[in-house]
Structure 1
């Protein structure tokens, strides 16, 4: 199961079902196409995703379809230099996270001669890639909203205990679970208690 989540509302907005053996990157384009088909995407500032979706193809596809950057964590399996840079960025934010207000602040703390040691030149595609990786690190806290959505789907709608075996039945359970969260959100808003969207069982 792959889900697009509105992190501001903490609600699922699009989902697709795939077999467990399918590569994350291969499932990315159908998910984004489904999202683009259903929603007005003009005001999207960025799409956040984990390292499983880290590929240049996905970045280009997102820019083309949604007209916004795709910010993913660096997949260390892509190359040794990028793995080294990922570790540098992780250490940088661990030690100086409170002092970094923009990607440029972070880049200033990654000296150009240090980037050259990893085979990365100023103005190269790799440097742009690092810039995007820094932006992802700065906004990673927003992905916690995705984790909370998954947690509610499991605890409130029983998605962690699916007993169906047929693919269509499993898909029905997943879709109804997402609909239940959206309906719960509408109910909390109508009752003037939007905070309960994070504790849906308290509505019952």
Structure 2
């Protein structure tokens, strides 16, 4: 008769051991999504905001250089406008100089482009996360979302923003403005000068 009396404690002991093995420190951890979330959050935006107050750039396509006055060009410290810069077919105005000194040659190129199709700002956003096929580094080392006179814009640079910088403004209806600069030297204010130039171009286009 004593054998049935021992069955219940043995069953309780086995159950307790089984529960401990499920709830103890050796239980498999809950999967975490932290790394995925972190990776996604570091991606740059790939779609630009809409232009709430579009600007029609078509009237300025044939005379892009006229969008910056002589006084503004002087204040921006741009070099002389080149004869090739005002291209009525491409909507491009350029200012270029090649400054030579003993053992050194520095070039400066500033370029304003009026773009009527293709949505240049959307293209800039699409390229914001592009990687170099060889090094896997971001092609555009600098990418900043901006607002230029109420219009969506982006500032970007491939390498050193003190040596090259571009500001692209979305004017709406797939149109846009690109104000860029490249220099063989180093100018800490280069990007800010391009932002200022883009602001004045928008002002002139609206006027």
Task: Using structure 1 for the length normalisation, give the TM-score.
Answer: 0.25
Query: Between Structure 1 and Structure 2, which shows a larger proportion of strand residues?
Result: 2
Instruction: Give the structure with the higher percent helix.
Output: 1
Q: Which has the higher contact order (CA 8 A, sep 6+)?
A: 2
